[in-house]
Amino acid sequence: MALETWLIKVKTAISHSFDAVRTTTPTTKLMVKKSSVGVLAFEIAGLMSKLLHLWQSLSDKSIIRVRNDSISLEGVRKIVSNDEAFLLGLACAEMVENLRHVAKFVSRISKRCEDLNLRSFERLFDEFANSGYDPHGWVLGWKEVEGKNKKMDRYVTTTANLYREMDELSIMENGLRKLLQSTDHDASIKEQKVIDLEQKIFWQRQEVKYLKDRSLWNRSFDTVTSMLARSIFTVLARIKLVFGIGHGYPASLPRSLSASATVHPSENPSSCNFVSGPLKSPRLEEKKDHHAHYFLRPEFQAPKATSNHLRRHCSSLTLCQLDHSDRKDDKISSIGGGGCAGRCVWHAAG
């Protein structure tokens, strides 16, 4: 009797312990995987390529060519305008327009970021454009720019390879479907062809998977937006320096990168490794402070030429392009956007 009572107590205790285990809520936190950009990788790669080309067009070599050669070409002066301030305004307006298009796309994808600062990209960009306020230090230093651009260039190349391999995979899969539906081959020959094609498709899928991991495809919205935001801020800071818009110079970009360093050189010229800076003319200098307050608004557009100027220019655009028709890589024209007069100036620069 005593044994039975003891067994009942043990059974009751065990039952209570199992009930406690079942009612206990798990304390392990679930890891939430950030969503990747997926198929948007191809459009993002195109924007990165535009930013890289835009940065290259702001290099010392390109700026010197614009200042000393392009706007002084007889063809440009006769067809577009003989007004230096007008020509510089065209160049600046086209570059700003290109940057605005990229920023507009980044504003859209930033809404899918988890970082609150990145989600506020549109507001922060407008503030930086109009006042130079950069609370998060998104303007990169010169060495940081080189490293970031190399990384972006690798992403662009890998994503382009992914596009080609995915296209090849699609062709293979369509070929397999057609082969399975065909009745033109002997059964044994058809079977061997199907096996061979399926093997190729298997390895092609492995290649696509590998490239997705290496390219922008599997990068998160936060990662991609952060890269683009920093690049956009840095390019905008460079544009302001080159064209002398606004006051002062960001700490991360040395004074030697500005046009003021050329107009007002330092006392120790040997310490300056760069020679580019704002492309100034007396008339442009008078307007720059006014432009600084609405730098990226729709009102900031290329100066209006006379209808006769534009008509003569657009009908004879090839004259400006002939001057450098032997170049293999027109990096500026690949950016797109802007008016035909602005493209004429930059084609001549290339």
DSSP conformation letters of 89-157: HHHHHHHHHHHHHHHHHHHHHHTT-SSHHHHTHHHHHHHHHHH---TT--SPPHHHHHHHHHHHHHHHH
User: Which alpha helices (DSSP H) does 215-339 contain, by range?
Assistant: 221-242, 260-263, 282-291, 307-315, 317-322
Query: Residue range 130-150: average pLDDT?
Result: 91
**pLDDT at residue 216 tops 80:** yes
CA distance 203 to 218: 20
d(CA 6, CA 4): 5
Q: Is 294 within a domain?
A: yes
Tell me whether residue 24 is in a domain. no
Write down the pTM of the prediction. 0.66
**pLDDT at site 247:** 46
Mean pLDDT (whole number) for 283-302: 47
Q: How many CB atoms lie within 10 A of CB 168?
A: 14
292 within domain boundaries: yes
User: Among all chains, which residue has been given the structure tokens 């004879």?
Assistant: 316
- Cβ atoms within 10 Å of 252's Cβ, excluding its own: 18
Phi, psi of 219 (to 5 degrees): -80, 145
Can you tell me the mean pLDDT for 37-42? 95
Q: Confidence band (pLDDT; 50, 70, 90) for 64? A: confident
| CB-CB contact of 224 with 115 (8 Å) | no
Q: Which two tokens stand for residue 314?
A: 């657009």
Instruction: Look at 262 and 240; give whichever has higher pLDDT.
Output: 240
Residue type, 100: R
In a domain, 30, yes or no: no
What total of structural domains would you count in the chain?
A: 1
Q: Which amino acid is at 9?
A: K
Domain assignment present for 26: no
* CA pair distance 179, 191, nearest whole angstrom: 10
Q: Is residue 62 part of a domain?
A: yes
Q: What is the pLDDT of residue 242?
A: 86
Confidence of residue 71 (pLDDT cuts 50, 70, 90): confident
Q: Give the model confidence (pLDDT) of 222-248 as tens digits.
A: 999 999 999 999 999 999 988 887 644
Report residue 310's pLDDT band, with 50, 70 and 90 as the boundaries. very low
What count of other Cβ atoms lies within 10 Å of the Cβ of residue 28?
Answer: 5
Alpha carbons within 13 angstroms on the beta-carbon side of residue 194 total 14
CB 258 within 8 A of CB 240: no
pLDDT class for 251, splitting at 50, 70, 90? Answer: very low
Which residues constitute the domain of residue 185?
38-259+275-349
The DSSP bridge partners found for residue 254 are none
Q: What is the reported pLDDT for 138? A: 94
pLDDT: is 316 or 278 the higher one? 278
**In this structure, is residue 320 part of a structural domain?**
yes
- DSSP string spanning 67-89? HHTGGG-HHHHHHT-S-HHHHHH
Residue 317 lies in a domain: yes
